[in-house]
Amino acid sequence: MLHKFCCKLLSSRQILTNFCKPHKRIGRLKCRPHRTCQKALVSAIHSMRRRIQSHNCEVRFMTRDNPLLKPCRTRRGLFIQCFPKGHQTLRALGVDHVELEAQDRGALDYVIRARVEAGVRRLYEVAEPGCPPVRRFEPEAPVKDRLRRTRLYLPGNNPDLMLNAGLFGADCVILDLEDSVAPAEKDAARALVRNTLLSVDFGSTERIVRINPLSTGYGRSDIEMIVPALPDCILIPKCDGAKDVKDVEGIVAAIEKQNGIETEILLMPLVETAKGVLNAYEIGAASDRVVALCFGAEDFTADVGVERTKEGRESFIARCMLVLGAKAAGVGAIDTVYSDVQDTDGLVESTREAMAIGFEGKGVIHPAQIGPIHQVFTPTPERIEYAQKVVAAIEQARAAGSGVATIKSKMIDAPIEKRARRILRLAAALGLLEKDTEE
């Protein structure tokens, strides 16, 4: 019914420019509803969730005479400031039938856009693609074979944490639309994550988005909005079997085609149920896009009906099975998060165990966990030196026409060579090798 207004509002750079006065630390934009639209709006507004909020930007929609929705003065007096130009601009746009009140405490442009868009979407049907900001960075094509020692989880509805997430040295960041976002805020988070992907430079960090499971009803909307913003990878939660992966792949491929996206967005199934663990191989092999299987201990222990412990003995067998499934399918295996941010020793211990059973990385819930995990996954100079000796010995033997070499009377065969070459690849990726000695 009010489509025209929405499109005008959302596509107008002018309104955001006026709203987002850089020299104002806070701001308010307001337009009063026209009386003729009031009745229709009252019912619409009553049924909607009224606020979209993060600490530096809050958007509300309201009718003028509804006492329930009247703005209140906060102790910081945020309702006092206003932009006279905001009124004029809205009027010039013909927006005279809805009241939009946005509390802006210094949010960046793309955050305000996301908040306003989400607010409007709660009231009206918005034609896709809504109001994405102009892409600021042309991302490189997703890389299947890369380091994934750390995946930093970031709540998808918190713009502050996402802005600098690429600076902390994690190999991957996960912009999360699932567990860290309340059901009532899924739509707001979705718009924010999309705008973040278009506006924030994460550097060389892999950008993963955790969508909601397709079974929840949110998952498809997540994919539809996120894929055009070109994340590197989609993390599929609660994967129980190959079908979960294939269903997501089908939707992703269709949207890629629809949007003329030539690169293939990668997939990372998250296995967090007993059934998923038993099906690890078929999940890993379900699609060429799958790069790694991840383990989720919290949901897994809930599914199995046991307490989650720091030592993780209750999930040890499951984690081993997941690694086996992943390796059989020829993809990576990434361990769950270590939940106690303060306990660095416990984190290191847990990471060592993960590495020992074949995981190539761990989930991370705070940047402080990145350094210790990387340290564990970084090969020591002694291991690198030995690996170099192994490769040199085997190549020398081959040159001499033999398939087997020895170092200090110990036989070097194919598995040892394979392990040595893997260490050298990792060392090379970490810049620990001289150029001419790289694989």
Partner 1 sequence: MKMIPNALGRMIPEEIDGRKLKPFLGAHATHGGGRKAGPPIRATVDYKDKLRSSLDEAIEACEIKDGMTVSFHHHLRNGDFLINMVVDRLAERGLKDLVLAPSALFPCHEPIIDHIEKGLITHIEGSMNGPVGRACSLGRMRKCCVLRSHGGRYRAIQDGDLHVDAAFIAAPCADSHGNANGLSGPSACGPISFALADSLYADRVVVVTDNLQPFPVIPWVIRGGNVDHVVQIDRLGDPEKIISGTTRITRSPTRLLIAEYAARFVRDSGIMDEPEFSFQAGAGGISLAFIQHIAEIMRERNIRSAFARGGSMKYLVDLLNEGLIGYILDGQAFDLAGVRSLRDNPKHIETDPFTSYNYHTKGNFAQRVKISILGATEVDLDFNVNVNTHSDGWLLHGTGGFTDATDGYITMITAPLLRGRMPIIVDKVTTVTTPGETVDVIVTERGIAINPGREDLIERLKGSDLPIKPIEELHRIAVEMTGEPAKPVFGDRVVALVEWRDGTIIDAVRQLKP
- Enumerate residues 45-64 that contact partner 1 by CB under 8 A: 56
Is 21 a residue that touches partner 1 (CB under 8 A)? Answer: yes
* Segment interacting with partner 1, rule: CB under 8 A, options 4-12, 36-44, 160-168, 253-261: 160-168
* Segment interacting with partner 1, rule: CB under 8 A, options 36-44, 123-131, 163-171, 218-226: 163-171
* Segment interacting with partner 1, rule: CB under 8 A, options 19-27, 270-278, 345-353, 381-389: 19-27
* Segment interacting with partner 1, rule: CB under 8 A, options 43-51, 90-98, 363-371, 410-418: 363-371
Is 13 a residue that touches partner 1 (CB under 8 A)? Answer: no
By the 8 A CB rule, do 212 and 182 touch?
Answer: no
- Give the residue among 173, 171, 175, 140 at the shortest CA–CA distance from 263: 140
| Interface characters, 365-404, with partner 1 (x: CB under 8 A) | -xxx------------------------------------
Parallel, antiparallel, or unpaired: how do β-strands 332-337 and 292-295 relate?
parallel
Nearer to partner 1 among residue 88 and residue 263 (C-beta):
88
CA distance 53 to 61: 12
Where in 379-432 does DSSP place strands (E)?
Answer: 405-407, 410-412
419: tokens are: 């392990």
Beta carbon of residue 106, minimum distance to partner 1 (angstroms, whole number) = 2
Ramachandran area for residue 30 (φ above 0: left; ψ -120 to 50: alpha; else beta): beta
- Enumerate residues 247-286 that contact partner 1 by CB under 8 A: none
Q: Cβ of 169: how many Cβ atoms within 10 Å?
A: 14
- Enumerate residues 87-106 that contact partner 1 by CB under 8 A: 105-106
- Residue in the block written with tokens 């988070």: 189
Q: How far is CA 59 from the centre of its chain?
A: 24
* Segment interacting with partner 1, rule: CB under 8 A, options 71-79, 119-127, 161-169, 274-282: 161-169
Is 167 a residue that touches partner 1 (CB under 8 A)? Answer: yes
Count of residues of this chain found to bind partner 1 when the rule CB under 8 A is applied: 21
Is 22 a residue that touches partner 1 (CB under 8 A)? Answer: yes
Beta carbon of residue 172, minimum distance to partner 1 (angstroms, whole number) = 16
* Segment interacting with partner 1, rule: CB under 8 A, options 23-31, 122-130, 285-293, 307-315: 23-31
Cis bond before residue 129 (omega within 30° of 0)? yes
Is 168 a residue that touches partner 1 (CB under 8 A)? Answer: yes
3-state secondary structure 315-378: HHHHHHHHHHHHHHHCCEEEEEECCCCCCHHHHHHHHHHHHHCCCCEEEECCHHHHHHHHHHHC
> What is the identity of the amino acid at 315?
S
> What is the sign of the dihedral through the CA atoms of 394, 398, 404 and 409?
negative
Is 164 a residue that touches partner 1 (CB under 8 A)? Answer: yes
Interface residue list for partner 1 (CB under 8 A): 20-25, 56, 105-109, 136, 161, 163-164, 167-168, 366-368
